[in-house]
Amino acid sequence: MASSDWLDIRGWTESIIGWSMDKTHDILPSSDIDLEFSITRPRWFLEEPIVIGSEINLQSGFADIQPSLEAFFRFNNNVHRSFRYNDVDSHGSPIY
């Protein structure tokens, strides 16, 4: 007889999602990436250069959205599992 631990599809899915998000976070570069550039004009027109862009850090940016991504995938998995094929009408719309 199979153990209920092996049949825990939801637990396995959540573990894989968390593991893959952590691995993605670790793979991203941790140093700042400089995306700034400046436009210089003649000094008599404008003394300060115009600076466009910013510095970004991919790892910290991903860390900011990681909890939301994990929650989205968990929610999406739960919604997908909650509908059975016979829970739709003849037009394919879910029956509530």
* pTM of the predicted structure, to 2 decimals: 0.53
Give 86-89's long-range contacts (Cβ < 8 A, gap of 24+): none
Burial class (CB in 10 A: 0-12, 13-18, 19+), 14: middle
| CB environment 61-91: b (16+ within 10 A), e (fewer) | ebeeeeeeebeebeeeeeeeeeeeeeeeeee
The whole-number pLDDT of residue 21 equals: 84
**Which residues in the chain land under pLDDT 50?**
1
| Domain locations in the chain as residue ranges | 9-81
